[in-house]
Structure 1
Amino acid sequence: MSFAEIGAAAIAAGIDDMYASFLKGDRQGFDAHLHDDVTTWETHLPGPLRTRRELDAYRDSRDAAGERPVLAVMAATEKRIDVWGDTGVARYVLVTRDAASGQEQHTRVTDVLRCLDGDWRIVHHHAELVRP
């Protein structure tokens, strides 16, 4: 296996672990995949969040209001991952299913990652809900 193939496999496994952590309510496990300076741009967020501190503040207020989504499924599908040295880009479709309603959503995601001390961390996350 080439370095790029090894990196792509590590990134794919990290993305799967990150979403498994979300489903378990393991914020620390989820956050282990994020760089402290991660930018987070998502359809439902109140504007771009430019650091993990801003993301944490958003999540803390959301969770305190009882608005954290409860999902039965959260899976990255159709992954395409490229690696160039210590930089990687992952593109995939995130499929979620609400635990209560069963409603499914598909979101197009692009993550930019850096390999730091042997660990891949997301430095930019961009997600856009696919409208039916």
Structure 2
Amino acid sequence: MNTGAIDSATDTGTDAAAIAAGIDDMYDAFLMADRARFDRHLHAEVTTWETHLPGPLRTRSELDAYRDGRDDSGTRPALDRLAAEDKRIDVWGDAGVARYVLVAEPPGEPAQHSRVTDVLRRVDGAWFIVHHHSELLAR
């Protein structure tokens, strides 16, 4: 795999790099249990669709309620590594889409791979994820 590479189909240079850096920072924040830093990458109206979630979460407040319950129950995932690989990022004005494979490595267990698509919107010069879709891949 080409870890962390950006393959942009359009000439977006700086914007694609900013989106890639934001995605990397978001997953680093997850590993550090820094929810505030993680959330700086999410729009307030982000929709979150993931294989393991209880249906689509349609706002950040719905995501927060899910995470609060998960964390309170002690079921927050413990991971040795969480990284976006094989990134492909396209930008059209103030809209962008990032596609990548998310690799999650739980301690002492095989890595899990998910196919992810993030749709982003630029607001006041900063990129925010407005839609996150992640599907666990069978390996």
TM-based fold match above 0.5: yes
Structure 1 residue 108 displacement after superposition: 0.2
1:32-73 alpha-carbon deviations (Å, 9 max, x no partner)? 000000000000000000000000000000001100001000
In structure 1, runs of 5+ residues without a counterpart are none
Within a 5 Å distance, the mapping from 1:9-20 to structure 2 comes to 9-20=17-28
TM-score (norm 1): 0.96
**Equivalent in the alignment of 2:5:** none
Aligned with residue 126 of structure 2, among 98, 116, 119: 119
TM-score (norm 2): 0.91
Alpha-carbon distance in structure 2 between the residues aligned to 1:3 and 1:11: 14
Letter in 1 for 2:83: A
In structure 2, runs of 5+ residues without a counterpart are 1-9
Aligned with residue 72 of structure 1, among 71, 80, 96: 80
Q: Please tell me whether the aligned partners of residues 91 and 110 of structure 1 are also in contact (alpha carbons under 8 angstroms).
A: yes
Structure 1 residue 84 displacement after superposition: 0.1
Identity, % of aligned pairs? Answer: 66
Aligned with residue 114 of structure 2, among 107, 121, 132: 107
- Number of aligned pairs? 130
Alpha-carbon distance in structure 1 between the residues aligned to 2:88 and 2:20: 9
Aligned with residue 90 of structure 2, among 64, 72, 82: 82
Q: State the 4+ residue runs in structure 1 displaced beyond 4 angstroms.
A: none
More strand by proportion, 1 or 2? 1
Structure 1 residue 3 displacement after superposition: 7.2
**Equivalent in the alignment of 1:32:** 40
Alpha-carbon distance in structure 1 between the residues aligned to 2:35 and 2:109: 23
Letter in 2 for 1:87: A
1:90-113 alpha-carbon deviations (Å, 9 max, x no partner)? 0000001002x3321000000000
